[in-house]
Amino acid sequence: MSLNSIHTVVLIGAGNVATHLAEAFQNTGREIIQVYSRSEISASALAESAGIPYTCDLKKINKNADLYIISVTDSSLLQVAQEFYAGDKLVVHTSGFHALDALAGTSENTGVFYPLQTFSKNRTVKFLTIPLCIEANNDHNLRLLEDLALSFTSDVRFIDSVQRKKIHLAAVFACNFTNYFYGIAGEIIKSSNVPFDILKPLILETAEKVMEMDPSSAQTGPAKRNDLAVMEQHLAMIDDEARGDLYLKISELIRKKFEHPTNH
């Protein structure tokens, strides 16, 4: 182990990502010496489950850690970064959205440690195959983060702030919107007393297909086949206006992609 490697960590934040990171760090044998959250409920919940001290006061953050991880919501990050000063201690954030320079005033040694995954509390996530996107303000810090990241996952990526922001946007389509559509699908079939579980093999296979195929090659359905009669009857079955609008617009985009001319 090098003199410079990371053993002790302070976790600033106690949300979904912070909770999963805490567990992952402890699993690699590192020590989380403190958790901060402005919410006492969140701080104490994570601190108790992980068996570590907590504070709700940024001024009381332990100064002796090797690494400070700011893992708060994107909407709180800039404020936390402004209020927290770490001198020359290594500070990283875990945001896909914010640039590295969000931490420019926080420390002389900064980085980003962005696990590209969807995290919910009460669900275990295996870090082993999660892409960890890292960036740092100099090569030395980047090597420290690479070393750290490799103890979590085999998939470490050097991603700059511009690329990361695009990945973050892509993840909204690939994950957040997709999950929302699972919910729409569930509501549609529950209205005829068919349980959600009938969709599970389809949902899983749709995802598994693109592990091996390009999404374009994997595309199926009435819009791809340009089956106007089916699309029109589907539209007539949707009683929610906003949902009907979505159906129409996405179907049009799929039709265009597969080169069927628009005719209404």
- Shortest distance, CB of residue 247 to a copy of itself, whole angstroms? 7
- Shortest distance, CB of residue 81 to a copy of itself, whole angstroms? 14
Q: CB-wise, 61 or 130, nearer to a copy of itself? A: 130
- Cβ neighbours around 120 below 10 Å, total: 9
Q: CB-wise, 120 or 263, nearer to a copy of itself? A: 120
Tokens of 224: 């791809």
The answer to whether 135 touches 142, Cβ cutoff 8 Å, is yes
- Shortest distance, CB of residue 240 to a copy of itself, whole angstroms? 9
The angle at the Cα of 117, spanning 111 to 120, to the nearest 5 degrees, equals 110
Q: CB-wise, 140 or 256, nearer to a copy of itself? A: 256
Tokens of 56: 């709700």
Q: CB-wise, 2 or 192, nearer to a copy of itself? A: 192
State whether the Cα torsion 98-15-88-28 is positive or negative.
negative
The answer to whether 111 touches 137, Cβ cutoff 8 Å, is yes
Q: CB-wise, 113 or 247, nearer to a copy of itself? A: 247
Q: For residue 80, give the 3-state DSSP assignment.
A: helix
Q: CB-wise, 56 or 174, nearer to a copy of itself? A: 174
Strand order across the beta sheet in which 54-55 lies: 54-55, 31-36, 8-12, 67-70, 90-93, 109-115, 132-136, 156-158
Q: For residue 65, give the 3-state DSSP assignment.
A: coil
